[in-house]
Amino acid sequence: MSFRTKLTLRINRSIAWRVDELLAELRGDVAGLRHQIDEVADQLRHRGAQLDDLSRRLDEVQRESSWSANELARLAPQAAAFEARLEQRARPVVLTGGLEDLPEARLLVDVVREEHARVRARLSLVSAYEERLRRLEQRPAPVAAP
């Protein structure tokens, strides 16, 4: 075999060896990139599931909020009417009757006080519920860690 042929074969082997090395490195890089792409795709799927869950929960909160606003709008006139009646009864009444009317008047005052206590209890429940809704609406939606 001639020197030129030997040299050509040796150069070809060196080039082939170097190309094989570079291809092996590229294959490793491609495999690493594929792994990273798979991880990102998994994270995106997870985030999509989280978004779906948050959307579902938000729909539930909106339905509850709408129902609560409707109930509050329905109860507000009743509470106002109770307040008006209680205010009318809270004013001192000049008794024109005799002592025989006093027990009935006391009974009436007790009934009014009881009704007033019930109205205050209801209003405090409505107020607490509104406060809870306000805090829920102001709280940021929880986001689970990836």
In a domain, 110, yes or no: no
CA-nearest of 138, 134, 141 to 53 is 141
In a domain, 43, yes or no: yes
* pLDDT digit string (tens) for the chain, length 146 residues: 899 999 999 999 999 999 999 999 999 999 999 999 999 999 999 999 999 999 999 999 999 998 888 888 888 888 888 888 888 877 766 656 677 777 888 888 899 999 999 998 889 888 888 888 888 888 877 776 66
Domain containing residue 82 = 3-89
In a domain, 30, yes or no: yes
Taking each helix axis from N to C terminus, what angle separates 3-90 and 102-138, rounded to the nearest 10 degrees?
Answer: 170
In a domain, 20, yes or no: yes
Q: How far apart are CA 137 and CA 23, in angstroms?
A: 57
Q: Hey, what are 114's tokens?
A: 């009881």
Q: Is the pTM of this model over 0.75?
A: no
Angle at CA 69, nearest 5°, toward 79 and 77? 20
